[in-house]
Amino acid sequence: KAGVTQTPRYLIKTRGQQVTLSCSPISGHRSVSWYQQTPGQGLQFLFEYFSETQRNKGNFPGRFSGRQFSNSRSEMNVSTLELGDSALYLCASSLARATSYEQYFGPGTRLTVT
Amino acid sequence: AQKITQTQPGMFVQEKEAVTLDCTYDTSDPSYGLFWYKQPSSGEMIFLIYQGSYDQQNATEGRYSLNFQKARKSANLVISASQLGDSAMYFCAMRQDTGRRALTFGSGTRLQVQP
């Protein structure tokens, strides 16, 4: 069974640009969550999607948005990029939303904003 | 609000020895799950083990076991017979059963296994 895949793996953007990251969950998984990892702030929750609906959102500005498609694939978008958005963006999928279901992570997309 | 605390920024262990990575948590939710993840230098978060708040037995997965002490709000990870490939960052995380079901992570412990 294939794991969670994220594309692209690496990305370099300039301040003010926008970026779209993609996440394909494990087959059959319907919940997709996104996390940002930085050396200073650690791992922080961005948002969660389940059945094409955003269920939870972390404390990030409106420049961060996402969506989920009917096949459970998810995208996140960051507009008007800032230097501080440089981070590893991790996507995690889960069979369902209940706590007892493990979340499996993808390899991440490393975004560098210059 | 929930919080995870990992007080060991770095740990060293000799190959083939056991090591315990500490994790304490704080939550007012009676129902929650505790997770441990390994993050090698490649960046991917690898799921290791899960413990539910109502589970009576400590979780075990191969060389990994979770020492769950609910009254103390601790969920320490024990790695037995350490291997060189165990060198990585280890994160403890918690997810509540109600409200926001996002994982809250600790700051991590960098484990280095020495030959």
Q: pLDDT tens for residues A40-78?
A: 999 999 999 999 999 989 999 999 999 999 999 999 999
**Do A33 and A94 form a contact (C-beta atoms < 8 A)?**
yes
What integer pLDDT is reported at residue B17 of this predicted model?
97
Q: pLDDT tens-digit profile of B10-21?
A: 999 999 999 999
Residues of chain A neighbouring B51 (CB-CB closer than 8 A): none
What integer pLDDT is reported at residue A99 of this predicted model?
63
Q: pLDDT tens-digit profile of B22-55?
A: 999 999 888 899 999 999 998 889 999 999 999 9
- Give the minimum alpha-carbon distance from A80 to chain B in angstroms, rounded to a whole number: 25
What integer pLDDT is reported at residue A1 of this predicted model?
65
What integer pLDDT is reported at residue A95 of this predicted model?
87
- Whether A88 sits inside 8 A of B43 (CB atoms) is yes
- Give the minimum alpha-carbon distance from A24 to chain B in angstroms, rounded to a whole number: 15
What percentage of chain B exceeds 90 in pLDDT?
83
Identify residue A88 by its one-letter amino acid code: L
Tell which residue, B85, B82, B33, has the closest CA to residue B59. Answer: B33
Rounded to whole angstroms, the Cα distance separating B25 from A43 reads 16
Q: Chain-wide mean pLDDT for chain B?
A: 94
What percentage of chain A exceeds 70 in pLDDT?
96
pLDDT of A98 higher than 90 = no
Whether chain B has a CB inside 8 Å of the CB on A90: the answer is yes
Identify residue A83 by its one-letter amino acid code: L
- Give the minimum alpha-carbon distance from B44 to chain A in angstroms, rounded to a whole number: 4
Of the candidates B37, B45, B103, which has its C-beta nearest A45's C-beta?
B103
What integer pLDDT is reported at residue A100 of this predicted model?
63
Peptide bond into A8 cis (omega under 30): yes
Across A39-83, where does the E strand assignment appear?
42-50, 53-57, 64-68, 74-78
Tell which residue, B40, B48, B36, B37, has the closest CA to residue B84. Answer: B40
What lies within 8 Å, CB to CB, of B95 at 6+ separation is A99, A103, B32, B33, B35, B101, B102, B103, B104
What integer pLDDT is reported at residue A5 of this predicted model?
96
Rounded to whole angstroms, the Cα distance separating B17 from B15 reads 6
Q: Tell me the helices (H) and strands (E) count for chain B, helix number first.
A: 0, 12
User: Average of pLDDT values for A96-105?
Assistant: 77
Whether chain B has a CB inside 8 Å of the CB on A55: the answer is yes
**CA–centroid distance for B24 within its chain:** 9
CA-CA distances (angstroms) from residue B73 to A88, B26, B31, B36? 30, 7, 13, 15
Give the three-class secondary structure for B98: coil
Closest-CA residue of B relative to A89 is: B43
What integer pLDDT is reported at residue B53 of this predicted model?
93
- Whether A45 sits inside 8 A of B102 (CB atoms) is yes
Identify residue A30 by its one-letter amino acid code: R
Residues of chain A neighbouring B32 (CB-CB closer than 8 A): 99
Give the three-class secondary structure for B21: strand
pLDDT of B69 higher than 90 = yes
Whether chain B has a CB inside 8 Å of the CB on A102: the answer is yes
- Give the minimum alpha-carbon distance from B53 to chain A in angstroms, rounded to a whole number: 10
Give the three-class secondary structure for A85: helix
User: Average of pLDDT values for B99-113?
Assistant: 90
